[in-house]
Structure 1
Amino acid sequence: MLPSRTVSRNLVQPETASTHTPRPKGSVVLVGMPGAGKSSIGRRLAARWGMPFRDADSEIEAAAGIPVAEIFSRYGEAHFREGERRVIARLLASAEPVVLATGGGAFADPRTRQAVRDSGATSVWLKCRLSTLMRRVAGREHRPMFVNTDPREVLERLMAARHPAYAEADVTLFCSDEHPEVTTRRAADAITGHRPPERLRVALSRNAYDIVIGEGVLRRAGAEMAQRLEGRRVVIVSDQSVAALHLPALRESLADAGFAVAAEILVPPGEASKSFAQFERVVDQILSARADRRLAVLALGGGVVGDLAGYCAASVLRGLPFVQCPTTLLAQVDSSVGGKTGINTAQGKNLVGAFHQPRLVLADTAVLRTLPARELRAGWAEVAKHGLLQGPLWDWCEAEGPNAMRGDPAALAHAVLESCRLKSAVVTEDEFETKAEGGRALLNLGHTFGHALEAECGYSGQLLHGEAVAIGLGLAVELSARLGLCSQEMPGRVREHLREVGLPVRIADLPRAFSIGRLIARMRADKKARDGAMRFVLLRAPGDVFTESGVTEDMVRALLTEEGCLP
């Protein structure tokens, strides 16, 4: 323990507290390398908000009565870190929130990081380039670590050791050589605008994992993965379009957390990449990266990338750890959760694959702003499906769908959160889709028709999965109404909503003709079929759905005839 003395309060009395930036509700803890500006920015933030400022090293020296360097030399680092943790925990336990600048090594101690989390404070990493730090620490002879040593070597060593811990901070703020007031303003905006991500637990009896949902989650990927994976090597699988937009941020996040990227494997965008040819190519490249069972496979992309990468992860060495970073609405609300992986064949969609649960799903809702409008609309079909499965969510979909399709961040975040909540509950109850009735099979509402349409289009991009599901939802509800299961108004209500958000709702909306015979053959070969009999998910009302194998072929033919299909 450190010697006990009265602790100086080190309070900055603000000359003028800014009214332009709201004051944070709790304490703020600044972490970073020597020279990052923790004390300088911390004092300015405290003055801006009218909050007390504390410097952890100063508090420790006041408590011990001797400088930090002397504590190290007399008692050793382990003794110092224990005292440092206790001082930081005490400062953060104060009834009044504070702005706290920590020593460079404080946040690198796992118990101190946990103490900061437990306090509810917002941790902020002031991240600087090496060149910036070099200029700032030049001539700091009072810092023992820089005496009679090469500052560059010291900083490089400390950055390699400490950046993985700093990456776990709630907020990362890149700091350059701009004026400290500019950095302070940016820091204040980032801190008060920070919203912790939502976390859902997929509570499987084995292989339970978390879904992390929120803006900026992709930039925390490395830190989140570091807490859940044993190894620190990763293979990234993405498609060429997504990689151009999001791979740089992911690389940086992984590097900060101490991960080495063993390979980056890019596939062409589109459903056609869920093929044997791409499966073989990706598997070969994973093996070429000196794969062992600690090598993680990270899928950065939509449902195609996630399904393909997941199946490769399931197959190599009979199972590698797998992380999903879904970048489309469809993948965030549906395909990234549940562990279904696979590829398509000439006979149908997802007929070859495996159940392989991810270790983690990171759904960054900010990336949805980069989606083409058509892709965003296609993802909404799965949200609408979840609404019909859940009940109250359907009413919300009808009210907020148009806002979501205009890019409303709150509406999109709610759609992702509630869809994942529903799907995680279903998956937990029926992980391997073994229930004879209900369970995971219900998640295929609209998919028997939709998959048949996709297969007939040859997965060419002419018809997106979500567009096929939208048409399938209308057909499934229409079939339910014809069987007297739901109200006669329900099919029109479903189709009106889907049309309002810009989705096709009838086969006749598509720019090509379809054969009834070929569609029925596809549906008989669907993986949900039983003994060659078509199997549908039908609806009595939103929130009341079930599986049914007793629908006659004549009824399906009549329905498809009215849709404009050819005999």
Structure 2
Amino acid sequence: MSRNLADPLVSPPAHEGVAEAPSLPAPPPPPGRSIVLVGMPGAGKSAVGRRLAARLGLPFLDADTEIENAAGMTVAEIFARYGEAHFRDGERRVIARIAAGPPVVLATGGGAYADPRTRRALREEGALTLWIRAEIPVLKRRIAGRSNRPLFIGRDPEEVLRGLMAARYPAYAEADLAIDCGEDTPEVTTIRAERAIGGWQRPARLPVALSANAYEVVIGSGLLARAGGLLSPYLSSRRVAIVSDATVHALHGATLRAGLEEGGFEIRAEVTVPPGEGSKRLGVLEEVLEGILAAGADRGTAVIALGGGVVGDLAGFAAAVALRGLPFVQLPTTLLAQVDSSVGGKTGVNLRAGKNLAGAFHQPRIVLADTGALSTLPARELRAGWGEVAKHGLLQGPLWEWCEAHGPAAMAGDPEALRHAVLESCRLKAGVVAADEFETAKDGGRALLNLGHTFAHALEAECGYDGTLLHGEAVAVGLGLAAALSARLGHCAQEWPGRVMEHLAAVGLPARIRDLPRGFSAEALIGRMRKDKKVRDGAMRFVLLRGAGEAFTTADVPPEAVEALLRDEGAG
């Protein structure tokens, strides 16, 4: 008698053992979640799965076998009697039930992961999905003579395989890991799979919980190569336009392009701008808009910002105004952009009157912070990003103590220290943005993120955004000035300015105006600060400190105290 596909599963079959090569490292400890193998028919999911399960000390299950046991008939019979839709529904329920149970290695049928409900169920259960890839000649040879595969009965195998690849590869691209098996034996592919699993770290996902347009910040290494799969659940259309600067595009453009195409995305345009703050102006914005629209962008085309804060602000503003609003994705490649500017939806360009004076709030659909991209940054760019990390530390409290202890290691390129800096900075900013999305709080709120920025924006504007002073360097000097002003006005202990400046100097950042490569006029800087967008009723507003984790906004700052501080710190 046949059974319903949702019936309880039979006990898993015993797994096969495989001899261990003496030169191989010891296998990693069993994961806390199931490992699910996905891929085309003939990729070797079952053969590799059995061997991988033996090496990891986990049970092995084959989804098709479990379905047949539950239904009391073969897959071919289910297809013939009930059709593919009925089979896929049962397949999804069986796979979800297995994933919700104790950890196993599960080999799935070729079409299982193409079902969005199955993908969603596996994500929700925390399963690790591994895509085993193989070329058509390999697949064709392996499926030869297997007449029990319903999709191949009476049809040309190569034609079927090409059609399946076109339909299923965008779904397979959503898997956590991918390996190529080529002509390798199952043993070799198993070793490759085991090493990939052992070196894998699940990306962190932080929600930005807005009342509308909520999104996630995904943090991890290797995300650009997986962009197609990671973006698929968040974009209704697979048409995109990439905006980048020439330097970043040369470094990461090909990786992103391959990742998007693997996920089935059509790249309508790739617009590049000159690197540097000088590109954040209305003339370049117009060029970006013309490039996107000339390529045939429509209301469904997503704008992808690949680069640092300049590109993110510029591309985001373009997305906000093109066709009255296009979907937007942030792919920050600098430390400064990953920890700060990519999160929060602030976009804009500079005017002669000051920084970010023309712009819009336009939240991204998702932020992919690929920490692996940080290894390509020049040392100066990496240090500049630390200015924003230090700011977040002073706002949060415990993160400041971590910065003091681990900042030098992060600036030396320690990947774990950098990942922690990005993760905790984004965690802080996501919480602040969710509580005050449009910076409307009268006191505190999102305005606290401007710690050091009133000074920093004035310094940048005086330099004419010519690259003499990077934003993060200006923020570092601004943090020192904010701490010094706080101490002068009696808000914090006198030790704080020295402590802040000492840390900034320890990571290689300028900490005082006199550390900068050019001179500044105190009168000119105050003039710039009076034009800052945070000015209310003619009064300058500052974010000041009582200590780490105790920041506040105020307009109760005598201008003469600001001028005296600027002169004492090196402004003429």
Change (3 A) 1:557 1:131: farther
Deviation at residue 491 of structure 1 after TM alignment: 0.4
**Selected match of 2:545 from 508, 529, 539:** 539
- Match of 1:112, as an amino acid? T
Residue 398 of structure 1 pairs with residue 404 of structure 2? yes
Q: 2:490 aligns with which of 484, 492, 497?
A: 484
Distance 1:470 1:4 in 2: 62
2:300 matches 1:294:
yes
Structure 1 partner of 2:504 = 498
Deviation at 1:527, TM superposition (A): 1.1
SS of 2:113 mapped into structure 1: coil
Aligned-partner Cα distance in 2 for 1:224–1:94: 25
Query: Out of 93, 108, 112, which is 1:86 matched to?
Result: 93
Answer yes or no: is 1:562 the counterpart of 2:568. Answer: yes
1:45 corresponds, among 37, 40, 52, to 52
Aligned twin of 2:38 = 31
Map 1:81-160 onto structure 2 (within 5 A). 81-95=88-102, 97-137=103-143, 140-160=146-166
Map of 1:438 onto structure 2: 444
The answer as to whether partners of 1:275 and 1:345 remain within 8 angstroms in 2 is: yes
Contact 2:16 2:50 in 1 (8 A): no
Summarize the Cα distance change of 1:377–1:3 in structure 2 as closer, same or farther, 3 Å threshold: closer
Indicate the residue corresponding to 1:11 in structure 2. 14
Q: Distance in 1 between matches of 2:434 and 2:99?
A: 38
Secondary structure of 1:493's counterpart equals helix
* Aligned residue number for residue 265 of structure 2: 259
Change in Cα spacing, 1:368 to 1:68, as seen in structure 2 (3 Å) is same
TM-score norm. by structure 2 comes to 0.93
Confirm or deny: 8 A CA contact 1:107 1:113 kept in the other structure. Answer: yes
- Residues 8, 62 of structure 1: 8 Å contact kept: no
**Structure 1 residues 13 and 180: alpha-carbon distance in aligned structure 2, compared to 1, 3 A threshold:** closer
Instruction: Choose from 449, 455, 458 the match for 2:455.
Output: 449
Q: 3-state SS of the aligned residue for 2:189?
A: helix
Distance 1:8 1:429 in 2: 50
Residue 328 of structure 2 corresponds to 322
C-alpha contact (below 8 Å) 1:14/1:50 kept by paired residues: no
2:282 is the counterpart of 1:282:
no
Which residue number in structure 2 is paired with residue 414 of structure 1?
Answer: 420
- Higher deviation after alignment, 411-420 or 60-69: 60-69
Shift of 1:131: 5.0
Aligned AA (1:338): G
State the match for 1:73 in structure 2: 80
Q: In structure 1, what is the Cα distance between the partners aligned to 2:9 and 2:245?
A: 59
Q: What is the DSSP-based 3-state SS (H/G/I as helix, E as strand, rest coil) of the residue aligned with 1:349?
A: strand
Distance 1:3 1:537 in 2: 59
* Identity between Structure 1 and Structure 2 (%): 66
| Equivalent of residue 63 in structure 2, options 46, 53, 56 | 56
1:11–1:53: 8 Å Cα contact kept in structure 2?
yes
Matches within 5 A, 1:356-395: 356-395=362-401
Partners of 1:182 and 1:320 in 2: CA distance? 46
User: Aligned partner of 1:27: which letter?
Assistant: S
One-letter amino acid of the structure 2 residue matched with residue 395 of structure 1: E
What corresponds to 2:174 in structure 1?
168
Unaligned runs of 5+ in 2: none
Indicate the larger mover: 332-341 or 50-59.
50-59
Q: Distance in 2 between matches of 1:279 and 1:6?
A: 59
Change (3 A) 1:132 1:352: farther
Residues 3/380 of structure 1: CA separation in 2 closer, same or farther (3 Å cut)? closer
Query: Secondary structure of 2:358's match?
Result: strand
Could you tell me which residue of structure 1 aligns to residue 214 of structure 2?
Answer: 208
CA distance in 2, matches of 1:3, 1:335: 48
Give the paired residue count.
565
The SS at the match of 1:152 is helix
Residue 306 of structure 1 is matched in structure 2 by 312
Distance 1:131 1:239 in 2: 40
TM-score by length of 1: 0.94
Over 3 Å counting, the alpha-carbon distance change for 1:374 and 1:417 in structure 2 is: same
Deviation of 1:555 after TM superposition, in Å, equals 2.0
3-state SS of 2:469 partner: coil
Amino acid corresponding to residue 564 of structure 2 in structure 1: A
Q: What is the letter of the counterpart of residue 390 of structure 1?
A: Q
Distance 1:6 1:538, change over 3 A: closer
- Does 408-417 or 271-280 show the bigger shift? 408-417
Larger mean CA deviation between 254-263 and 111-120 belongs to 111-120
Alpha-carbon distance between aligned partners in 1 of 2:338 and 2:445, rounded to the nearest angstrom: 20
Q: Distance in 1 between matches of 2:373 and 2:353?
A: 34
Read off the aligned partner of 1:30 and give its amino acid letter.
Answer: L
* Aligned-partner Cα distance in 1 for 2:232–2:397: 37
State how far apart, in whole Å, the 2-side matches of 1:233 and 1:331 are.
24
Alignment-derived partner of residue 464 in structure 1: 470
| Local SS of the residue matching 2:350 | strand
The whole-number CA distance in structure 2 between the counterparts of 1:453 and 1:4 is: 69
Q: Which deviates more from structure 2 when the two are superposed, residues 82-91 or residues 460-469? A: 82-91
Whether the 8 Å CA contact 2:6–2:90 is kept in 1: the answer is: no
Contact 1:5 1:65 in 2 (8 A): no
Instruction: Report the counterpart of residue 559 of structure 2 in structure 1.
Output: 553
Q: Indicate the residue corresponding to 1:334 in structure 2.
A: 340
Contact 1:8–1:59 under 8 Å retained in 2: no
Alpha-carbon distance between aligned partners in 2 of 1:116 and 1:349, rounded to the nearest angstrom? 45
Structure 1 residues 552 and 194, CA, compared in 2 at 3 Å: closer, same or farther? same
Q: Using a 3 Å threshold, how does the CA distance of structure 1 residues 389 and 199 change in structure 2: closer, same or farther?
A: same
- Call closer, same or farther: CA 1:282–1:100 in 2, change over 3 Å: same
Residue 520 (structure 1) aligned to one of 519, 526, 531 = 526
Secondary structure in structure 2 of the residue aligned to 1:298:
strand
SS in 2 for 1:452: helix
Offset at residue 139 of structure 1 (A) = 5.6
Give the whole-Å Cα distance in 1 for the aligned partners of 2:124 and 2:541. Answer: 50
1:132-184 CA deviation, whole Å, 9 max, x = no partner? Answer: 43454456555443454333321221112112221222222233334433322
Distance between the aligned counterparts of 2:249 and 2:537, measured in 1?
42
State how far apart, in whole Å, the 1-side matches of 2:466 and 2:324 are.
Answer: 31
Kept after mapping to 1: 8 A contact 2:6/2:93: no
The worse-fitting range, judged by mean Cα deviation, of 266-275 and 48-57 is 48-57
Instruction: Give the 3-state SS of the residue equivalent to 2:112 in structure 1.
Output: coil
Q: Which moved more, 1:533-542 or 1:464-473?
A: 533-542
